[in-house]
């Protein structure tokens, strides 16, 4: 099974994007690399292969624009999608709200488009997260207010498409509320290594339940 991670900087995690990157460097320093390591160690007989196609700063529209190059041509068996926070960040800079219905429709369209090329492909969808911490402790751009309807739209897409959903916000919130939220999300958006481990653990749990 070839597993492809598709997303923004949280997926990218400083991966090496050069063609001659080693497999470990290509996977970056985040949850995708941790999943690669864990599944590879525990299930060598499964012959899992992994591909990281995260790009920092991407919104859903950027993922959609590059789906043929970065997903279809890779011919994965499973696509894991993690996107949404930059859609909030982009509009918050201009004092605008995310068009949630448009976001949801585009998410549906992206999945349909990938399936039109790869009819047997499987999906997983990850929940975007935020907690006021670090440089975003005061949340002056109101990302925390904008993200809940986007998260709900992501969840609804997963439900309506019958796609396994990796719920993350409640896990991060519970841990951050215990104190020192930067331990988990160093700037309110990007996970620390421990935060990436949390994502990897939740992802693997959902994966093993469904595939």
Establish whether 196 is a catalytic residue.
Answer: no
Q: Where are the beta strands (DSSP E) in 2-138?
A: 2-7, 49-54, 78-82, 122-126
Q: How many CB atoms lie within 10 A of CB 188?
A: 23
Establish whether 80 is a catalytic residue.
Answer: no
Query: Which residue in the list 8, 36, 87, 190 is annotated as catalytic?
Result: 190
CA angle 27, 85, 100 (to 5 degrees): 135
Establish whether 187 is a catalytic residue.
Answer: yes
Closest CA to 28 of 1, 60, 61, 51: 51
Backbone φ and ψ for 140, nearest 5 degrees, come out as: -65, -25
Query: Which residue in the list 9, 33, 80, 92 is annotated as catalytic?
Result: 9
Strand partners, 50: 3
Query: Which residue in the list 97, 99, 145, 187 is annotated as catalytic?
Result: 187
| CA dist., res. 103 & res. 91, Å (int) | 12
Would you name the residues annotated as active-site residues? 9, 187, 190
């Amino acid at each position: 099974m070839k597993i492809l991670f598709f997303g923004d900087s949280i997926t990218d995690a400083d991966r090496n994007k050069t063609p001659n990157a080693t497999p470990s460097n290509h996977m970056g320093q985040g949850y995708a690399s941790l999943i690669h390591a864990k599944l590879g160690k525990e299930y060598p007989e499964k012959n899992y292969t992994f591909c990281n196609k995260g790009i920092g700063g991407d919104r859903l529209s950027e993922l959609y624009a590059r789906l043929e190059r970065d997903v279809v041509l890779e011919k994965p068996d499973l696509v894991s999608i993690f996107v949404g926070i930059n859609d909030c960040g982009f509009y918050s800079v201009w004092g605008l709200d995310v068009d949630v219905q448009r976001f949801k429709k585009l998410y549906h369209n992206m999945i349909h488009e990938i399936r039109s090329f790869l009819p047997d492909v499987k999906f997983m969808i990850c929940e975007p997260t935020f907690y006021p911490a670090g440089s975003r402790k005061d949340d002056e751009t109101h990302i925390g207010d904008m993200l809940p309807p986007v998260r709900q739209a992501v969840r609804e897409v997963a439900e309506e498409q019958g796609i396994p959903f990796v719920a993350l916000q409640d896990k991060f919130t519970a841990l951050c509320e215990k104190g020192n939220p930067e331990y988990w999300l160093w700037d309110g958006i990007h996970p620390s290594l421990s935060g990436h481990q949390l994502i990897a653990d939740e992802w693997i749990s959902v994966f093993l339940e469904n595939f």
